Amino acid sequence: MFNDKLIELPDYGRLIVVSDIHGNLEDYNRYVNLWDENDSDFHIVFLGDLIHAVGDDDKSIEILDDAIEKSECPNFHTLLGNHEWAHIVNSEIYKNGEDLIRKFENLVSYRKGFIEPSLTNYIKFFKTMPYFVKTANGLFLSHSGPSFKVKSIEAFNKIFESDYSGPILYDFLWNRYNNFTHYTKSDVDNFLEVIDAKYMVIGHNVVESYKLYGNQMILASSFYTKVKTYLDIDLSKELNSMKDLQKQLKFLI
């Protein structure tokens, strides 16, 4: 059955993986320029949180307008992050004391002249965003997670049957690696076994460059990191260890 919330990539081609951009247009453009939209076997995945810069230099609107245009390309993928999710469910979200929902609405009004219909159209775009990407060579990509609540493939598939208020989807958007009430390394391994994958790649967490947490890699491609890191993966190559995955890391210079 077709599932537009889970993108499955084949055992050929190339994949660039980028984590949280948070309104940084310069970094967004530099990553997009690494990708070739005319090569249908060359995929780029943003792991959610395109929007919501901290401070005044917030280019979320420019990024969204470009991402909406590029979303017509079947090899351009923007996953749902907790910041996009907050607009869908109308949930408060703050960072450094800033009300980011209100700030985004004001930004839409300022950039577009009127808040509507642009705000509604952006939220419609957020609702088209997939949750996950799975590759034939064993990677599972999401904004965050996993959820320790997923004990079976049936439990995992229930994510796709519920709306945006489901508790398991919430975990895949908000969980953090350094909070043992969220998940442990064993939870990562158990989840990977359930969905028949080897390694998990997420963003969401604040780390410098990247961090390995058991069989999970946490990427920092733009936000709150001095060394901006992304993955450039040959999808035809088998991954047999986290060292194999580490070899696919590259740095935005």
pLDDT tens string 54-111: 888 999 999 999 999 999 999 999 999 999 999 999 999 999 899 999 999 999 999 9
DSSP symbol at 104: H
Lookup: tokens for 208: 């410098």
The SS3 assignment for 110 reads helix
Q: Residue 32: which H helix or E strand, with range?
A: helix 25-32
Task: Tell me the pLDDT band of 202, cut-offs 50, 70 and 90.
Answer: very high
Distance CA 9, CA 13 (A): 9
What CATH fold (topology level) applies to the domain 10-251? Purple Acid Phosphatase; chain A, domain 2 (3.60.21)
Provide the 10 A C-beta neighbour count for residue 65: 15
Distance CA 248, CA 14 (A): 11
Lookup: tokens for 101: 């929902």
pLDDT tens string 96-155: 899 999 999 999 999 999 999 999 999 999 999 999 999 999 999 999 999 999 999 999
pLDDT tens string 209-225: 999 999 999 999 999 99
Distance CA 48, CA 103 (A): 19
Mean pLDDT of 16-39: 98
The whole model's pTM is what?
Answer: 0.97
Q: For the chain, what are the domain ranges?
A: 10-251
